[in-house]
Amino acid sequence: MIKAADIEKRYGRAWALRRISFELGPNGFLLVTGANGSGKTTLLRLLVGLASPTRGSLSVAAEREQVGYLGHEPLVYRDLTALENLELYGRLYRVSERRERIGMLLERFGLWEARNQRVAAYSRGMTQRLALCRALLHDPSFVVLDEPFTALDTAGAELLDRELATLAATATVVVSTHDPARVAPLATARLALA
Amino acid sequence: MSAYAADVAALARKDLRLELRAREVVPAMSVFVVATLVVFHFALPRNSGRDAAYGLLWVTLVFTALLGLGRSWVPEREGRVLDGLLLAPCDRSAIWLGKSLATFAFLAVAQLVALPAFALFFAPLRGQAIAGVVLADVGICAVGTLVSAMAAAGRTRDLVLPLVFLPLAIPLIVGGIGSSIATRAGSYLLFLVLYDVLFSILSWASFEYVVTE
């Protein structure tokens, strides 16, 4: 599914990632750990195709419509409502039975009551829940989550635990986190960035 | 409607909705264009003639467009929404086309204010001049949307946009002024059509390479 051989990424003169190699098979679960600035976000951006490696070879056997990505930023419009954001993404991702799928996700992530509020009025935790809805909207088979527990309260984190357990059985998953113990039981591979 | 056209329509509609809510771009452009025309009205000597006034109209239109273009990718820059759009499996040129159409709409509204104001302060506009404005708007939106996307990715965006866009807009100004003052404006209008076609194709084809790392 993923084959990375000596990949490196440089921004200007600074190296964000040096000589990383790993492989992950289909339905594998990769846990990425490392200190701040170790290159976790850069690696995840490379995996989803938002950036290209400066050196080395990276092959990911997933088309864009199969990729679900949660980044540091929520990737949603602040002046649109949750419903409008998901409608737009649902259309771009050609989600079948879009309204039902959006309604089900908003319900599951506890945002149904706030669906018609602008994202600008959301708390950080609600925005993170919406970002997770956006990442999972099209039922991706390759899921990449960058610090997914950020800003989630206890109930939100437990909900995400359950989502990850489901995803681990059905999709290839890459998760970066500062709380590896939470995800470790699901992981089939680990990558520690220095 | 094809999937491509539906994507473009959804993206353009989203920009119109954002503008209707935030009201940041069109009011700013409208106030700027009127204020500039008022300044030029008092700055231009009385016996300067119509040709000079038309020249100032085009300077005003281009700088008004620049004001709108500078704001056009702000919603995508906040929260890195452009990353989300780039990850979607739609044709990436649809993002450029949707944004260009929305920018064209904003520019058209600002000019609905600007052209009557010009007629009031300076001289009436003939049909050929208005045709020139519409054709120039197409070129401005095609090139401007691409350049502003390129500028939005960098830290020096406020500098990059005018430095790259203004030289590219010179042919539009030449064609626009020609269509406004020449007795036979046909060749200038044709020139604007050619510019629009050529630069729309170039912008459409190169957008993906401009916005991806």
- A151/A126 same-domain check: no
CB contact (8 A) between residue A89 and residue B86: no
Task: Give the whole-number percent of chain B exceeding pLDDT 90.
Answer: 81
What is the reported pLDDT for B212? 82
> Given CB atoms, is A96 within the 8 Å cutoff of chain B?
no
pLDDT in tens, B9-43: 999 999 999 999 999 899 999 999 999 999 999 99
Q: Within this chain, do residues A135 and A146 fall inside the same structural domain, yes or no?
A: no
The pLDDT confidence band at residue B56, using thresholds 50, 70 and 90, is: very high
The residue-averaged pLDDT of A167-187 equals: 93
Q: Is the pLDDT of residue B1 over 70?
A: no
Q: Tell whether A82 and A135 lie within a shared domain.
A: yes
Average pLDDT for chain A: 94
The ipTM estimated for the assembled molecules is 0.92
Query: Over chain B, what is the mean pLDDT?
Result: 93
pLDDT given for residue A6 in this prediction: 94
At A52-66, the pLDDT tens digits run 999 999 999 999 999
| Contact state of B84 with A93 under an 8 Å Cβ cutoff | no
Answer whether residue A104 is part of any domain: yes
Chain B residues whose beta carbon lies within 8 Å of the beta carbon of residue A78: 75, 78-79
Instruction: List CB contacts (< 8 A) between B99 and chain A.
Output: none
Helices (H), chain A: 40-48, 82-92, 98-108, 124-136, 154-170, 180-183
How far apart are alpha carbons A189 and A23 in whole angstroms?
9
Whether chain B has a CB inside 8 Å of the CB on A92: the answer is yes
Q: In which band, very low, low, confident or very high, does the pLDDT at B184 lie, cut at 50, 70 and 90?
A: confident
Q: Is A91–B81 a contact, with Cβ atoms under 8 angstroms apart?
A: no
pLDDT band of B47, cuts 50, 70, 90: confident
Closest of A75, A56, A79 to residue A146, by C-alpha:
A75
| A162 and A193 both lie in a single domain | yes
Domain ranges of chain B: 3-211
> Helices in chain B by DSSP H: which ranges?
3-22, 26-43, 50-72, 74-77, 81-87, 93-121, 127-152, 157-181, 186-211
With respect to residue A71, please indicate whether it lies within any of the assigned structural domains: no
**Is the pLDDT score of A132 beyond 90?**
yes
Average pLDDT (A170-184) is 93
Contacts of A64 in chain B (CB under 8 A): 87-89
A52 and A24 within one domain: yes
Do residues A33 and A49 both lie within one domain?
A: yes
CA distance B25 to B110: 10
Q: Residue B154 pLDDT more than 80?
A: no
> Same structural domain for residues A129 and A146?
no
The partner residue sitting opposite B83, judged by closest CB among A71, A79, A91, is A71
pLDDT value, residue B156: 80
Which range, of A20-24, B47-51, B110-114, B159-163, averages the lowest pLDDT?
Answer: B47-51
Residues of chain B contacting A82 with CB distance shorter than 8 Å: none
Q: Which domain covers residue A106, as residue numbers?
A: 77-139
A vs B: CB pairs below 8 A:
69
CA distance linking residue B20 with residue B25, whole number of Å: 10
Same domain as A175, residue A123:
no
Average pLDDT over residues A24-30: 94
For residues A177 and A120, state if they share a domain. no
Q: Is residue A68 part of a domain?
A: no
Averaged pLDDT, B90-97: 96
pLDDT digits (tens, 9 = 90+) for A93-130: 999 999 999 999 999 999 999 999 999 999 999 999 99
Which residues between 97 and 136 in chain A have a beta carbon less than 8 angstroms from any beta carbon of chain B?
A: 118, 134
Residues of A in contact with B14 (CB under 8 A): 77, 80, 84, 88
Question: pTM of the prediction?
Answer: 0.92
Query: What band does A191 get if pLDDT is binned at 50, 70 and 90?
Result: very high
Same structural domain, A183 and A150: yes
CA distances from B126 to A70, B33, B116, B183 (A): 54, 20, 12, 11
Residue A40: pLDDT band (50, 70, 90) is very high
Number of domains in chain A: 2
- Give bridge partners of residue A20 from the DSSP assignment: A7
